[in-house]
Amino acid sequence: MTASSDSPVLIAGGGIGGLAAALALSKAGIASHVLERRADFTEAGAGIQIGPNGTRILEAIGAASWLREHVAAPDALQVRDALTGEKITRMPLGGWIAKRHGSPYWTMHRQDLHAALLQAARAASNITLTTGTTAEAVTQSTTGVTLRCAESGATLAGRALIAADGLWSTLRAKHFDPAPAHPTGKNAYRTVIPVSSLPEGLAVNDAHIWLTAGAHVVHYPVRAGREHAFVIIFEEPQHTLGWSTHVEAAFVRARAQRLAPSLRVLLEAGENWRVWSLHELAMPQRWSDGRIGLLGDAAHPVLPFLAQGAVLALEDASVLAYELSHSSGSVSGALTRYEDKRRARALRVQSASRRNGRIYHLAGTLAKARDKVLRRSPATLLMRQYDWLYGWKPPA
């Protein structure tokens, strides 16, 4: 099978990044074929936060209309002491951030985001979706790429291949950098709780982050405000490779005995706990090789301390589609320009996320100094320092 200029872009991975790429390409008039290795399009996880730099892309690619009824738009971000429960600061989100950046800050269940992207993709006539298909081997020529499917041995032709297959990307390992991800020494435990479980005094439409030495807790409204997604991150030596490993609720509660009573009330409300270990992976020297390119976590995995992993994938998708639609026939040149435009941005977000992780877990005098700065700084000033992040706009 030979590729031509009319062949679709092949996308390996039907998660958030892969579907967003297909939708962005679709809006640019470019056909794509999304290949998902799982038997169906399902998504694990609990909550996800999408800042204005991501929600404007969801609007542009046609997913926001499917998603809007399922999201929450938190009024503010509260920072609290995880041992005493004391409020340290409350930074504006809601109308303030929407006005400042021209797009809202949304929180939602990860399954709802994925479902909206999937529905929008199924409604697009130039997107093909195939499950149960893994890229076993990829070859490329001056005219396109050929992919052989591991399950059937069948071959598919495309004008390009985009690897959007996540942190554990096999295509990244085969074609760019075989270095494995390494554990950070932090584990994240997640669940979802009914909003009625929030203790009195906690605003139900705020996002919250609770800080203490060696741990922090994040929770925020999802499912249109009916539930709160809850994540608690501990520094721990043991690690797992799975994204959704079951863990007993009693184990999580035992780990959190030193935390504030109001936090322990939240912990008691959580039943279906999952754990995943946070891993880091150095960014490869190249994201593109001829007609093969990387997108999202396959290119630049980000620790979850800035809530930007999925948003970076949305940004990638918008830039990728722009470059391919303005390529004048040179696919490899388009992928090179896509990488050039994204690398510095991704490195900055990675660095800021890593820095936040260190700040969240400070102890002793450093933690006291952090809290003092947060208390004394105007809340809007604290948020304006992220203008570089939330103010990003896709090429037009």
What pLDDT is stored for residue 55 in this prediction?
98
What pLDDT is stored for residue 152 in this prediction?
84
Average pLDDT over the chain, rounded to an integer: 94
132 and 41 in contact (C-beta within 8 Å)? no
Tens digit of pLDDT for each residue in 131-164?
Answer: 998 888 899 999 999 999 988 888 999 999 999 9
The rounded percent of the chain whose pLDDT value lies above 70 is 98
Q: What are phi and psi of 190, to 5 degrees?
A: -135, 150
Residue 4: pLDDT over 70: no
Residue 241: pLDDT over 90: no
What pLDDT is stored for residue 182 in this prediction?
92
What pLDDT is stored for residue 183 in this prediction?
93
333 and 34 in contact (C-beta within 8 Å)? no
Written as six digits, the tokens of 362 are 């400070």
277 and 187 in contact (C-beta within 8 Å)? yes
What pLDDT is stored for residue 3 in this prediction?
54
Structural domains of the chain sorted by starting position, each given as residue range(s) with its CATH number in brackets: 9-180+281-390 (3.50.50.60)
What pLDDT is stored for residue 39 in this prediction?
81
Segment 307-329 mean pLDDT: 95
Cα–Cα distance, 317 to 310 (Å, whole number) = 11
Residue 341: pLDDT over 90: yes
Residue 233: pLDDT over 70: yes
Residue where the block lists tokens 């439409």: 205
Segment 325-336 mean pLDDT: 93
Q: Which residues contact 133 (CB under 8 A, 6 or more apart)?
A: 35, 36, 37, 149, 150, 151, 152
Q: How buried is 180 (Cβ within 10 angstroms: 0-12 exposed, 13-18 middle, 19+ buried)? A: exposed
Segment 334-355 mean pLDDT: 97
CA dihedral 236, 241, 245, 248 (to 10 degrees): -30
Cα–Cα distance, 90 to 273 (Å, whole number) = 28
Cα–Cα distance, 55 to 311 (Å, whole number) = 8
Question: Which of the residue ranges 16-30, 51-65, 75-89, 128-142 would you say has the lowest mean pLDDT?
Answer: 128-142
Higher pLDDT, 321 or 245: 321
What pLDDT is stored for residue 1 in this prediction?
52
Segment 167-173 mean pLDDT: 92
Tens digit of pLDDT for each residue in 177-226?
Answer: 999 899 999 999 999 999 999 988 888 899 999 999 999 999 999 999 99
Written as six digits, the tokens of 229 are 């997604």
* 254: confidence class by pLDDT, cuts 50, 70, 90: very high
